[in-house]
């Protein structure tokens, strides 16, 4: 790369980063105070009702939020339904594992807001997903934190935009770190956000290669035997197991304790402990839930700023979260 071309590339990257920073700076906690002051309590009520119906809601929302933010930014593009003319993000191969309960929670929260005249079509689906994820985490015993609001809903959603944006569970630490860095997130942020797997589910197919034809040596033999019984050969593709089998219904630091004993479900989870570069972080958070909570809140707030749209030329507030206006 020539000097002039290299300088142009650096300037372009700097300009894009500055643009993203400006958009993120326009987010604020009281964004809806003038149009829908009770927005957070209304969303929390809808999430609480869904949570009481099924605990899957928690992991489903955390998973959905991550997949939304890493593809085209936190703009609710993952919520768009496919049409005859467009295969949307949600139908990309990497998104087929997203649980329907996450989508349903956002739809229910949107309906609850629209039932209040002054709030109808005033709150973006992207912000609803952000608030709902925060509320579900708190309901599962995780940290409570204030959310920044003011995102607009994206104007594009295509399955073709997904490949390369979401790392498969077989990814190396270097590949994962590079992916998160491309979204302005550090390796520490990445490990903290992965701690959200403490309330997640994973289909047997995502870790089958760790069980057969030979067992991954980084797996605890006892845990491997348990997984083999849950996921026998030719198991139904829809079968899923908790990513944290010790405290599957609690948002806590058990995920990191599991890694210390060879009970990380995905190879991309377990490598945080097997790799000496990330092991100290795992050990620190296995020892201190408070330290993990603090790191997780920092990381998820940072993730919520990724690729946000705040200008009318970039997005709008959808009347239906699953369809463009």
Active-site residue set:
67
Phi, psi angle pair for 109, to nearest 5°: -70, -40
Q: Which token pair is 100?
A: 């329907």
What is the token pair recorded at 51? Answer: 């949570």
- The set of residues, in sequence order, having a beta carbon less than 8 Å from that of 193 and lying 6+ positions away, is 66, 180, 185, 296, 299, 300, 303
Both tokens assigned to 119: 């709030």
Residue 51 to residue 21: CA distance in whole angstroms: 34
Using DSSP, state whether 86 is helix, strand or coil. strand
Q: Which helix (H) or strand (E) holds 316?
A: strand 315-316
Buried b / exposed e along 186-223 (16+ C-beta atoms within 10 A): ebebbbbbbbbbbbbbbbbebbeebbeeebeeebbeeb
Structure-token match 């709902």, residue found: 132
**Separation of CA 218 from chain center:** 26
């Amino acid at each position: 790369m020539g000097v002039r071309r290299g300088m142009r590339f650096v300037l372009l990257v700097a300009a894009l980063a500055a643009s993203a920073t400006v958009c993120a700076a326009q987010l604020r906690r009281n964004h809806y105070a003038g149009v829908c002051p009770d927005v957070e309590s209304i969303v929390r009520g809808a999430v609480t009702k869904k949570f009481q119906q099924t605990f899957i809601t928690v992991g489903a929302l955390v998973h959905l939020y991550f997949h939304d933010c890493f593809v085209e930014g936190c703009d609710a593009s993952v919520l768009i339904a496919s049409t005859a003319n467009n295969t949307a993000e949600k139908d990309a191969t990497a998104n087929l594992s997203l649980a329907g309960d996450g989508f349903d929670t956002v739809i229910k929260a949107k309906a609850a807001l629209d039932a209040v005249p002054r709030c109808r079509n005033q709150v973006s689906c992207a912000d609803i997903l952000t608030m709902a994820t925060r509320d579900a985490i708190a309901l599962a015993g995780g940290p409570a934190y204030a959310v920044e609001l003011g995102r607009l809903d994206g104007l594009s959603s295509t399955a073709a935009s997904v490949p390369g944006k979401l790392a498969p569970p077989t990814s190396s630490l270097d590949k994962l770190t590079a992916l998160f860095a491309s979204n302005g997130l550090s390796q520490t942020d990445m490990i903290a956000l992965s701690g959200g797997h403490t309330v997640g589910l994973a289909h047997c197919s995502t870790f089958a290669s760790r069980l057969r034809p030979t067992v991954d040596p980084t797996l605890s033999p006892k845990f491997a035997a348990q997984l083999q019984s849950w996921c026998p050969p030719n198991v139904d593709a829809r079968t899923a197991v908790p990513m944290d089998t010790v405290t599957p219904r609690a948002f806590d630091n058990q995920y990191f304790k599991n890694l210390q004993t060879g009970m990380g479900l995905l190879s991309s989870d377990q490598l945080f402990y097997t790799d000496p570069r990330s092991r100290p972080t795992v050990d620190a958070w296995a020892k201190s839930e408070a330290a993990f909570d603090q790191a997780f809140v920092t990381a998820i707030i940072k993730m919520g700023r990724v690729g946000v749209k705040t200008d009318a030329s970039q997005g709008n507030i959808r009347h239906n979260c699953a369809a463009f206006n």
